[in-house]
Amino acid sequence: MGYLESIASPRDLRELTPEQLAALASEIRDFLVRTCSRTGGHLGPNLGVVELTMAIHRVFDSPTDRVVFDTGHQAYVHKLLTGRMAGFEKLRQEGGVSGYPSQAESPHDVVENSHASTALSYADGLAKAYTVRGEGRHVVAVIGDGALTGGMAWEALNNIAIAKNSRLVIVVNDNGRSYTPTIGGLATALTSLRTSPRYEAVLELIKKRLNAVRGIGPATYDVLHAVKKGMKDAIAPQGLFEDLGLKYVGPVDGHDLAAMEQVLEKAKRFDGPVIVHALTRKGFGYDAAEQHEADQFHSPGPFDLETGEENPKGEIWTDVFADEMVRVGRRRKDVVAITAAMMHPVGLDRFEAHFPERTFDVGIAEQHAATSAAGLAMGGLHPVVAVYATFLNRAFDQVLMDCALHRCGVTFVLDRSGVTGDDGASHNGMWDMSVLQVVPGLRLAAPRDATRLRELLGEAVDVDDAPTVVRFPKGPPPEDLEAVDRVGGVDVLLRNGARDVLVVGVGSMAATAVDVGERLVAQGIGVTVVDPRWVKPVDPALVDLAGDHDLVVHLEDNGRVGGVGARLLQELNDAGVTTPFRLHGIPQEFLDHAKRAVILERIGLDAQSLARGIVEDVTALGEGAATVEVHRQP
């Protein structure tokens, strides 16, 4: 039996000798590689924090001391050291551990939100709470160099710098990368810290030399030490953090357990906020990850253990977007592209390869991306901002007041919209079609397949007086679904003449809507299945169609509250259309992690249960029920 199985809590770490700790670190790496080769997951980030996490749990006393992980994708080691090894069998799957901290899983876990750059704000609040309550608990925040490029992190640092008696230790996990090398002035400043001679080592050398000089030596050293700021700037420019008034310790080798423990012990004794700058390597200890140029195995799918080759994924929606963006870029010299540190994941790498001067990586800074895009539009260009749908949440005000208020022609492409599943509650892109409903002038499109994505992207970049949004889900696009007719701007996908039921399938739900329609036809029920394409503003043809049918069934891969269906209902009401209406969407809840298909079935967005419910409604209506009984989803 190895050491890992014997670790039920971090306290067990303190019984181990240095040799046993080294063996444990090796076991953890082997376990992570083997597990992620089966399940996929954030292997690279977690291989980079093995010793760092062990050191934190040996020096601090979780859960009395709180350990907060920024983004949380690098918390697998933390989970292994807090007794959850068994849950990795089904990592990020139903019944297994989530890929992020989870309060339901353990009292050692604090922050579940996977949105980056929040850890320091949580930590600032926690540390202040313990100060106010008079509790001598420490708070340790682990934040990556990438997450440090997010604005919230600097809002927090600005406050932490004056919280002089906060027992807060910030561990900067500096591996030089987000997915790709971290960009911007911050990265340059971290590099200068990373590459400067070790300040302490040089200071020790000076101390030894001067103390050897009888009489004046020690006094001279004291004078020198008194101007250590000047020395530090000379030896190791500390401006980045020290100019904020923050105590800085480092850089330290984040893979040297003893060195990390020594520095953390020093930081722990310092009665105020302190930054520990740890240098680590993403993917450390597994060659295939370390040498993976694209992103050092940031979040691979299942892969071959021997070769490190990822199992082939096949074409996904992102690939369709990536290729179409190159075509758009060729015909439209004014189109530029912006990513928030996710060039490849959002499909802009091909555009960048063709048009590097028209491609901007702003770091993990979606708010800046949106307002910078407004500036680009004001400057006569048409920016395409590509982000995962859930991450646009934090740029809502920028979309509203910087883009829409000024009628800027900016196109937001939202990948991973709807239920994503694997990454848990904060990754589902279930918010955009609700929050964006309130943005005056903004136009929103939801393509049902690859061809419509190409069409709608082209239509979106042609709009130069309002923000536009094109959103699509995670995974492979369905086969193309050709329309049999178009009414106004609405595609008719299926109809059999009778007008019993109008099924509205938004975006990725159009394929499900056609499946439902075919089941209804087989039951002799009259049905029309439509895809609105542009869902905001609501197409008047959709209102007319609803008025011509006995029942409307609306399907969308977005939260039920305030989404497209809610808006359509409002339009029907305003138009005096009283057709009974069933709104099917994602329940307005935080959904636990599981595969997308599993979740869609669980929440009733599968064709079989939808069709069954419609047959019951039509029967009820046929029996003279004035309206269908409303079974509200939660």
Ligand X SMILES: CC(=O)[C@@H](O)[C@H](O)COP(=O)(O)O
* Region 149-208 residues binding Mg ion, contact defined as CB under 5 A: 175, 177
Question: Alpha-carbon Rg of the chain, whole angstroms?
Answer: 28
- Please tell me whether residue 461 binds ligand TPP under the rule CB under 6 A: no
* Region 438-497 residues binding ligand X, contact defined as CB under 6 A: 474
Give yes or no: 214 in active site: no
Q: Counting beta carbons within 10 angstroms of the beta carbon of residue 624, is it exposed (0 to 12), middle (13 to 18) or buried (19 or more)?
A: exposed
Nearest residue (beta carbon) to ligand X:
73
The token pair at 72 is: 């949380």
Q: Could you say which of 282, 350, 452, 471 is catalytic?
A: 282
Q: Could you say which of 366, 474, 533, 596 is catalytic?
A: 366
Stretch that binds ligand X, among 1-9, 416-424, 438-446, 585-593 (CB under 6 A): 416-424
- Please tell me whether residue 402 binds Mg ion under the rule CB under 5 A: no
Which C-beta is closer to ligand X: that of 420 or that of 508?
420
β-bridge partners, 414: 387, 471
Give yes or no: 366 in active site: yes
Whole-number Å distance between alpha carbons of 552 and 548: 10
- Bridging pattern class, strands 534-536 and 581-586: unpaired
CB of 576 to Mg ion, least distance (A): 56
- Please tell me whether residue 391 binds ligand TPP under the rule CB under 6 A: yes
Which C-beta is closer to ligand TPP: that of 116 or that of 494?
116
Residues with Cβ < 8 Å from 202, sequence gap 6 or more?
235, 236
Which C-beta is closer to Mg ion: that of 144 or that of 580?
144
Nearest residue (beta carbon) to Mg ion:
144
# chain residues binding ligand TPP, by CB under 6 A: 26
**Annotated binding residue 102:** no
Among 57, 73, 108, 167, binds ligand TPP (CB under 6 A): 73
Helix or strand run (H / E) with residue 203: helix 199-211
**Annotated binding residue 286:** yes
CA dihedral 592, 74, 348, 534 (to 10 degrees): 20
**Annotated binding residue 217:** no
416 contact, one of Mg ion, ligand X, ligand TPP, none, CB 5-8 Å limit per kind: ligand X
* Region 343-372 residues binding ligand X, contact defined as CB under 6 A: 345
# chain residues binding ligand X, by CB under 6 A: 10
- Please tell me whether residue 175 binds ligand TPP under the rule CB under 6 A: yes
**Beta strand ranges found along 506-578 (DSSP E):** 527-531, 534-536, 551-559
Stretch that binds ligand TPP, among 112-120, 212-220, 401-409, 496-504 (CB under 6 A): 112-120
Among 57, 58, 292, 416, binds ligand X (CB under 6 A): 416
**Annotated binding residue 147:** yes
Integer CA distances (angstroms), 312 to 340, 345, 480, 595, in order: 26, 15, 22, 18
Q: Which residue has the tokens 């080798």?
A: 253
DSSP structure string for 124-187: HHHHHHHHHTT----EEEEEETTGGGSHHHHHHHHHHTT-TT--EEEEEEE-SBSSSBPPSHHH
Whole-number Å distance between alpha carbons of 374 and 527: 43
Give me the 58-97 binding string for ligand X, x by CB under 6 A, dash otherwise.
-------------x-x------------------------
- Please tell me whether residue 114 binds ligand X under the rule CB under 6 A: yes
**Annotated binding residue 450:** no
Give yes or no: 394 in active site: yes
CB of 95 to ligand X, least distance (A): 20
Among 29, 66, 92, 177, binds ligand TPP (CB under 6 A): 177
CB of 491 to ligand TPP, least distance (A): 33
**Annotated binding residue 255:** no
CB of 121 to ligand TPP, least distance (A): 13
CB of 121 to Mg ion, least distance (A): 19
CB of 177 to Mg ion, least distance (A): 5
* Region 340-359 residues binding ligand TPP, contact defined as CB under 6 A: 340-342
**Annotated binding residue 482:** no
**Annotated binding residue 426:** no
Stretch that binds ligand X, among 328-336, 366-374, 376-384, 415-423 (CB under 6 A): 415-423
Among 423, 500, 556, 557, binds ligand X (CB under 6 A): 423
**Annotated binding residue 146:** yes
CB of 145 to ligand TPP, least distance (A): 5
Q: Could you say which of 79, 84, 394, 471 is catalytic?
A: 394
- Name the strands in the sheet holding 139-144, side by side, starting at the edge strand that comes first in the sequence: 66-69, 139-144, 168-174, 274-279, 247-253
- Please tell me whether residue 71 binds ligand TPP under the rule CB under 6 A: yes
Query: Quick one: CA dihedral 88, 94, 99, 104, positive or negative?
Result: negative
Integer CA distances (angstroms), 293 to 17, 254, 288, 303, 314, in order: 36, 21, 10, 16, 20
Stretch that binds Mg ion, among 100-108, 137-145, 231-239, 433-441 (CB under 5 A): 137-145
Integer CA distances (angstroms), 359 to 149, 336, 362, in order: 18, 6, 10
Among 98, 117, 299, 468, binds ligand X (CB under 6 A): 299
- Which SS3 state, helix, strand or coil, does residue 363 take? coil
Whole-number Å distance between alpha carbons of 423 and 425: 7
- Please tell me whether residue 145 binds Mg ion under the rule CB under 5 A: yes
Q: Which residue has the tokens 């934090």?
A: 394
**Annotated binding residue 145:** yes
Cα–Cα–Cα angle for 63, 69, 74, nearest 5°? 115
Cβ atoms 315, 477 nearer than 8 A: yes
DSSP structure string for 430-476: -SHHHHGGGSTT-EEE--SSHHHHHHHHHHHHT--SS-EEEEEESSP
The token pair at 174 is: 């500096």
Among 40, 45, 505, 580, binds ligand TPP (CB under 6 A): 45
- Which SS3 state, helix, strand or coil, does residue 272 take? coil
364 contact, one of ligand TPP, Mg ion, ligand X, none, CB 5-8 Å limit per kind: ligand TPP
Whole-number Å distance between alpha carbons of 274 and 519: 63
Cα–Cα–Cα angle for 469, 475, 481, nearest 5°? 70
The token pair at 623 is: 């029996």
Whole-number Å distance between alpha carbons of 246 and 229: 12
Among 93, 166, 173, 367, binds ligand TPP (CB under 6 A): 173
* Region 505-564 residues binding ligand X, contact defined as CB under 6 A: none
Q: Where on the chain is the footprint of ligand TPP (CB under 6 A)?
A: 45, 48, 71, 73-74, 114-116, 144-147, 173, 175, 177-179, 282, 298, 340-342, 364, 366, 391, 394
Binding site for ligand X (CB under 6 A): 71, 73, 114, 298-299, 345, 416, 420, 423, 474
- For the annotated catalytic residues, the residue numbers are 282, 366, 394
Q: Which residues are annotated as a binding site for Mg(2+)?
A: 145, 175
Binding footprint of Mg ion on the chain (CB under 5 A): 144-146, 175, 177
